[in-house]
Each structure stands twice: as structure tokens, then as C-alpha cells.
């Protein structure tokens, strides 16, 4: 029996047909939009290349019109004089690079990080990798001159300091814009301070320093005043190096601080480079890519179209990547450096550098003195001293670093005025170490070769270290053998970088080996003052010494350098006796850099690369460029 077609069936069929037609039209419209977007993207790319070409042409014209005659700026000012173009001193070195006959804009600068990053958001990030990225995006009021070590104005054009040293007034440039074109003014500076001092923002490390500031107030659209609670020897540095955050970008997170604290890629500023998506970067992207900020306000525009960091956690893979020309620089291990200097292929394509940076950081073993509210093995000063006597730094330098390092005595460089000259590195001394451990109550009570306390608990501990560092791994295995000679059992515990950061924040470890960077003058408050032995603080070993606290406080409020240095030397003497860390070594920089990268020079801060040199001075001549927009 046949089924008749009813009016209802006809209606449903018509509706289905209409839906199909609408879907087809929608797909067609989407295709048209995609084509339009592709055309727009190509147009923008072409315009960007045109702008880059125009800049190059303008620079070439400037070279033909005349050279620049430099006049030194007066103290505390950012203005310089030139016959054809007025350029701020902070841009002087970068400008001179543009005057090279082969200078050109374009190409990419591609580097590598040996570990994935947990976050690149300012304030909540804690590692040197994130800091390296931020240096291209965020800017501060001042920047240090790598030749004179004096401070030049960056976002600030001038500054004055009151007679009592408590008030610093900055006058800002009035031509600064953020990456979206919004102008920067004094309100952004005030906002930045208020934002980082907000207890709901997870920035305890920064607050540890900035709590010395009583207030930051705008005195006009382009004038801002920092008032300190008490004298501070680095008052100008502290105020001048604060990375300025855009109020219109970051202010919404005051309503949801936890969203900011948990963010991964909220990075936006006034610097020469920007993230393509200032809110959208995540660690799973496998690297970081910064684009040239086409709105950059600076006197000199950046040369590279892009700055890229690849994540390459295996050193062998990183070397292969460099050898293939896919990254532009390679920091070699000492054993590699000696071999690569004799590698014809590497030397044909590379420039090599072997030097000790004047502000080279130091590696250390941090002995955690309190865990889960209880004192640890390392709460006893005699135990910490013994561990330093058991740590043969000469062998570490010779066997692991092949002489490309020097022993570290304290947080202060041996070339620093902060260093007390009569303090020398402790030599390896097995007998002295055994004596100290015996005095602390540790003996081999059962004849198994391992020391025990009076309750029979063995002297055993885990040493946390970064799993992808081959040199650190070799050092830990060397220390394991050295410590075993005294009956101390070291248990190696390799970890991924994000895991290490989490263990530090929670103070959930026995001992850890890491490194700290250094500066021209190092303030040790953050790492060793007892007030910083708190959750997420950088005194993650819970070290507390009232005498050291007193000396640190005194040094920080002593503005006169001649009076301050003896106080720093006294703090060094306290740490030398207490050994909160076993200070290991300061390593030389051993670098290979692709020859296509031009304008590499040594300065008083070391090679003119990295986050300590601002702005970036390198370029690639047009004939050697291999990447396009």
C-alpha cells in the first residue's frame, strides 16, 4: 500500500531544503571572508615591508646628509645633541650601529631556551628566561649605559633627587606610546606601583624591594614622584628599573587578581617588540615569538622583524639545531667548547666568545633549614660548614668546567667592592668535615659506612637539580662520591624546571642546586633576609640570622658608598661563617654566534647581547638575511 504525500511532509521537505541552502550560503560567505582576510593579511605584510624599506631608505639618506657629532648629556638628563638628528644617550650605541655601511633592517633573531616556561606574565614569572623575553616588551624609566655603567633616561627624560635622598622626581617623555598606540603617561607609572604592591597580586619578590617606597604620585601628566620611607642606597635604581605596565591593559585584572596570578602570557608594553596576541601565549606553543612593534616610539627602530625562542631541552639537539643554522647562538658546555673550536664547519659559520662577565652570576647548593615546620639536618651551622668542606670546588672547576670557571665565595663577585678581600674559598678538607659532623652528633654507629644521628637516622638527603643540564648532572655525581667518603648519602633528584619552581615556592626539598644572577652591586635582602623566608619568597631555604638581618638593613639605608661597602663586607663575613649556601662557581660565557649577526662588541657588562644591554644593537646585512616577514 503506497503512502500519500501530505501537506505536512511537503512542509518538512521544504524546511530541510531551506536549511541546506542556508548552509551552502553560509559556507560560501565564510569562504569569501577567508579570502578577504588572506588578502588583508598579504596587504598588511606588504605595507610592513614597505615601511621597513622606507626606514632603511631614510637611514641611508641620513648617512649621506651628514654624520652625528656627539655631545655628552648633562648629569641626570636624557637629552643629547647632534647636528642632523637628536638621539637620546640610551639609544646612542644602537644609533651608531645604524651608521655602519652594511646596516639593514629585516631578518629574524632565533635563539633557544633549554627549558619550557611556566609563564611570561610580569610579576608572577620568576625565572631568567621570562625576564629575557620581557626585556623586549616592557620598558623602565632608566637604562644602564654598558660603557660607563651610569644611568640614562629611557621613558624618563630627566630626574632630580631631594637633598635627603627620600624623594625622586622623574619627568617623562611625552611621545611614548604602548604597542596599541595608546599614550603612556604618569598614571601608568603610578598604576604599576599600586598594582605590584596589591597583596592580592602574587608578586612577593617584587614587594620585598618596593615596600621601601612610601608612595608614587603623579605631579602632572608627565611628571611622577617617588617618596621613600627611609634612605635606600639603590633608591634611583629601584624606581628607575621598575617595568612600566599599561594601566588600560592590566587594570581589569584588579577585579580578578587570581586570573592574573594564574595567567601564562599576559605580556604587553611600550617596548620595541610585542606578542602577536598579548593575552594568548601559552606554554604548549613550544616557543615564543615576538613581532616588531610598528608603533615603537624610540629614537632607533629595532632591526629584526622577529625575535624567536625555541624550546630545545636537549643540549645535543640544540647543538645540532645551531649547526644546521636554525638558531643563531649556542652557549656551549666547556667540554663542547674545546671541541667546537676545532670544528671547521662551526668555525666557518660562527664567531666564538670566551669571557667572564663582570656581573657573572653564581651557582650554589641551598641547604633547606626548615621543612614542613621542622628543623632539618642543615639547620646546624656545623653541618653546613662540613658540606662546604666536602665540596671540592677545584675538582668541579677542573673536571666539569675544564678551567672555564672560578670559585664563588659569596653572593658578591671577587671583583666587587662588596667583597672582603681576606675571605678565600674553603679548600676541600675531609678530616675537617668529619670533625664538624661528629661535633654535630653524626657518626657511623652501625659500621655500614653511612653516618647516623643519635637516634639511628642516616645522614641522607635528596639534592634537586635541573634534569636537562649535563654539567650539573656530572657535578652531582661527583659530589655524591665526595660526600660518601665522609659517610653522607646524597640521593640525586633530577627534575623538570616547572617542578623545581613549585618545590621552591613550597619549600618542599632537602637541598637544591641553582644559580643567581648578579649586578654591579648586589642587594642580598631578597635571598637571605629572614623576612623573606615566607611562601613564594626567595629565601626558600628558611635561613634566619638576626645579625645578618641587621647588617643588611644597615647597608641598604646607607647611601654613602664609602660607608656602605664595609657593611656589605661584614655581611659577607657572616655568610662565610654560616654557609647558608655552599657557593659553587662563577662560570665563563662560552658562546658561538652565527657570523650573519653583526655588531657584536664587548662592554663593561660583557658582550653587548642579552637583557642587560638595551636596546638591542645587532643586525644582519641585507645580503646575509634569510628570513622574511
C-alpha cell at 466: 635541573
Please name the residues in contact with 595: beta carbons below 8 A apart, sequence gap of 6 or more.
349, 350, 351
Peptide bond into 504 cis (omega under 30): no
| Distance from C-alpha of 517 to C-alpha of 493, rounded to nearest angstrom | 23
Contact 239, 141 (CB under 8 A): yes
Please name the residues in contact with 319: beta carbons below 8 A apart, sequence gap of 6 or more.
330, 332, 336
Q: Provide CATH code, domain 362-587.
A: 3.10.105.10
Please name the residue that has the C-alpha cell 634611583.
236
Predicted local distance difference test score (pLDDT) of residue 24: 67
Contact 393, 353 (CB under 8 A): no
CA 582 to chain centre: 23
| 583: DSSP letter | E
- Cα dihedral 526, 532, 538, 540, rounded to 10, equals 140
CA-to-CA dists, residue 267 to 22, 108, 304, angstroms: 41, 20, 19
Mean pLDDT by runs of 10 across the 629 residues of the chain is 50 68 64 48 44 45 37 34 65 95 97 92 91 96 94 97 96 97 98 97 90 96 97 95 98 96 97 96 94 96 96 92 96 94 95 91 97 95 98 97 96 93 96 97 94 95 94 97 97 94 92 92 94 86 97 95 96 98 96 97 90 87 91
Domain ranges for the chain, please list them: 362-587
The H or E element that residue 283 is part of is none
Amino acid at each position: 500500500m503506497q503512502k500519500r504525500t501530505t501537506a505536512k511532509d511537503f512542509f518538512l521537505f521544504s524546511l530541510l531544503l531551506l536549511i541546506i541552502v542556508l548552509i551552502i550560503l553560509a559556507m560560501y560567505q565564510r569562504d569569501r571572508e577567508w579570502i578577504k582576510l588572506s588578502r588583508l593579511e598579504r596587504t598588511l605584510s606588504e605595507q610592513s615591508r614597505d615601511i621597513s624599506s622606507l626606514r632603511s631608505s631614510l637611514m641611508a639618506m641620513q648617512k649621506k646628509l651628514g654624520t652625528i657629532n656627539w655631545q655628552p648629556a648633562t648629569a641626570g638628563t636624557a637629552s643629547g645633541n647632534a647636528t642632523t638628528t637628536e638621539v637620546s644617550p640610551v639609544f646612542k650605541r644602537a644609533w651608531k650601529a645604524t651608521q655602519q655601511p652594511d646596516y639593514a633592517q629585516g631578518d629574524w633573531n632565533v635563539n633557544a631556551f633549554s627549558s619550557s616556561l611556566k609563564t611570561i606574565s610580569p610579576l608572577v614569572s620568576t625565572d631568567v628566561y621570562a625576564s629575557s623575553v620581557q626585556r623586549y616588551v616592557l620598558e623602565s624609566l632608566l637604562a644602564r649605559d654598558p660603557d660607563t655603567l651610569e644611568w640614562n633616561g629611557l621613558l624618563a627624560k630627566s630626574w632630580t633627587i631631594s637633598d635627603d635622598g627620600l624623594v625622586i622626581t622623574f619627568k617623562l617623555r611625552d611621545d611614548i606610546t604602548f604597542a596599541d598606540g595608546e599614550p603612556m603617561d604618569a598614571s601608568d607609572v603610578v598604576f604599576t606601583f599600586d598594582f605590584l604592591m596589591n597583596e592580592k597580586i602574587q608578586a612577593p619578590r617584587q614587594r620585598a624591594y618596593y615596600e621601601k617606597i612610601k608612595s608614587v604620585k603623579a605631579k602632572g601628566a608627565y611628571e611622577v614622584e617617588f617618596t621613600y620611607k627611609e634612605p635606600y642606597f639603590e633608591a634611583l635604581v629601584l624606581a628607575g628599573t621598575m617595568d612600566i605596565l599599561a594601566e588600560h591593559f592590566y587594570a581589569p585584572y584588579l577585579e580578578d587578581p587570581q586570573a592574573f596570578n594564574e595567567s601564562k602570557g599576559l605580556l604587553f608594553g611600550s617596548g620595541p617588540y610585542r606578542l602577536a596576541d598579548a593575552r594568548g601565549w601559552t606554554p604548549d606553543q613550544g616557543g615564543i615569538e615576538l613581532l616588531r612593534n610598528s608603533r615603537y616610539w624610540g629614537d632607533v627602530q629595532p632591526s629584526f622583524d622577529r625575535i624567536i625562542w625555541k624550546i630545545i631541552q636537549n643540549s645535543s639537539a640544540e647543538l645540532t639545531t645551531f649547526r644546521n643554522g636554525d638558531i643563531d647562538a649556542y652557549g656551549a658546555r666547556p667540554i663542547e667548547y674545546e671541541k667546537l673550536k676545532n670544528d671547521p664547519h662551526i668555525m666557518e659559520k660562527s664567531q666564538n666568545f670566551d669571557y667572564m662577565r663582570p656581573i657573572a652570576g653564581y651557582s650554589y647548593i641551598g641547604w633547606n633549614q626548615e621543612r614542613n615546620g621542622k628543623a632539618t639536618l642543615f639547620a646546624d651551622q656545623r653541618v653546613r660548614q662540613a658540606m662546604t668542606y666536602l665540596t671540592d670546588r677545584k675538582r668541579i672547576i677542573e673536571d666539569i668546567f675544564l678551567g672555564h670557571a672560578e670559585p664563588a665565595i659569596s653572593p658578591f663577585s671577587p671583583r666587587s667592592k662588596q667583597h672582603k678581600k681576606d675571605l678565600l674559598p674553603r679548600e676541600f678538607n675531609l678530616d675537617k668535615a668529619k670533625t664538624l659532623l661528629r661535633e654535630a652528633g653524626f657518626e657511623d654507629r652501625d659500621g655500614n659506612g653511612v653516618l647516623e644521628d643519635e637516634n639511628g637516622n642516616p645522614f641522607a638527603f635528596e639534592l634537586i637539580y635541573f634534569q636537562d643540564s649535563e654539567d650539573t648532572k656530572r657535578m652531582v655525581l661527583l659530589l655524591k662520591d665526595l660526600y660518601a667518603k665522609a659517610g653522607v648519602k646524597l640521593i640525586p633528584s633530577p627534575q623538570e624546571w616547572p617542578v623545581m619552581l613549585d618545590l621552591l615556592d613550597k619549600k618542599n626539598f632537602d637541598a637544591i642546586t641553582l644559580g643567581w644572577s648578579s649586578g654591579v652591586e648586589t642587594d642580598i635582602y631578597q635571598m637571605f633576609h629572614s623576612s623573606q623566608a615566607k611562601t613564594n619568597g626567595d629565601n626558600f631555604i628558611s635561613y634566619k640570622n638576626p645579625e645578618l638581618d641587621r647588617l643588611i638593613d644597615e647597608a641598604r639605608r646607607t647611601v654613602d658608598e664609602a660607608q656602605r661597602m664595609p657593611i656589605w663586607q661584614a655581611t659577607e663575613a657572616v655568610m662565610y661563617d654560616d654557609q647558608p649556601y655552599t657557593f659553587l662557581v662563577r662560570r665563563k660565557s662560552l658562546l658561538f654566534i652565527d657570523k650573519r649577526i653583526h655588531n657584536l662588541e664587548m662592554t663593561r657588562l660583557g658582550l653587548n647581547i642579552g637583557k642587560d644591554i638595551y636596546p638591542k644593537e645587532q643586525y644582519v646585512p641585507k645580503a646575509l638575511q634569510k628570513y622574511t616577514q
